[in-house]
């Protein structure tokens, strides 16, 4: 992973970690359910962004490399990995 992207992802994950702690505090404080749900949705959206950026980086570097310099087996491995990960996204 590119150092700039890595730094950005780690910063984003730190913010998400704080958001999750905030949600836990909200639950401990018996905050209004809709407010808790709104914050949970925000955490999911932030995680989705991390996932999208990581997937994009993977496609641009790892997969592209396998298709330009790798063997047929390397290419098939990358395809199979992506199918497995994307198949499990909604679960």
- Give pLDDT tens digits for 4-52: 899 999 999 999 999 999 999 999 999 999 999 999 999 999 999 999 9
Architecture, CATH, for domain 3-87 = Up-down Bundle (1.20)
CA atoms in the 13 A half-sphere facing the CB of 66 = 16
Cβ atoms of 16 and 46 within 8 Å: the answer is yes
In the predicted structure, residue 89 carries a pLDDT above the cut 80: no
Residue 22's SS3 state is: helix
In the predicted structure, residue 90 carries a pLDDT above the cut 80: no
Say what the pLDDT of residue 86 is. 87
């Amino acid at each position: 992973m590119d150092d700039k992207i890595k730094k950005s992802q780690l910063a984003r994950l730190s913010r998400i970690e704080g958001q999750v702690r905030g949600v836990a505090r909200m639950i401990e404080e018996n905050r209004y359910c809709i407010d808790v749900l709104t914050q949970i949705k925000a955490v999911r959206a932030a995680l989705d962004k991390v996932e999208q950026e990581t997937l994009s980086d993977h496609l641009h570097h790892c997969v592209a490399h396998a298709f330009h310099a790798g063997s047929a087996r390397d290419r098939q491995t990358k395809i199979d990995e992506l199918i497995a990960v994307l198949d499990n996204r909604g679960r």
